[in-house]
Amino acid sequence: MIVHGAEQGAEGVPETDRIRDFLIEELHWPGSRSELTEDLALIENRVIDSMGLLRLIAWLDSTFGVEISDQEVVPANFGTIRGIEDLLRRKT
């Protein structure tokens, strides 16, 4: 289902918000929610580090049922929230 241009996950919450919530709550993003835009560079802005990336991949698997291969762990897929969303769309 599409709501305001964002796909909704199983719980009816747009995937953008679910990813953003994970980054804030689980990876302890110190900035404001409004700063964590779909195009913010996650690696360069230290939102995600190597351990955070592993946690994010495990969360994507358990939450969305997608398996991420080693070849898919590249900045194009994990550099921004939009990149993560695009990866999810291709995998589901």
pLDDT in tens, 49-65: 999 999 999 999 999 99
According to the model, what pLDDT value does residue 7 have? Answer: 46
According to the model, what pLDDT value does residue 6 have? Answer: 42
According to the model, what pLDDT value does residue 78 have? Answer: 97
Give the domain extent around 41.
2-91
Question: What is the Cα–Cα distance from 92 to 89, expressed in whole angstroms?
Answer: 5
Question: What is the Cα–Cα distance from 87 to 92, expressed in whole angstroms?
Answer: 9
Specify the number of domains making up the chain: 1
What mean pLDDT do residues 22-30 have? 95
CATH number at residue 21: 1.10.1200.10
* Res 3 pLDDT > 90: no
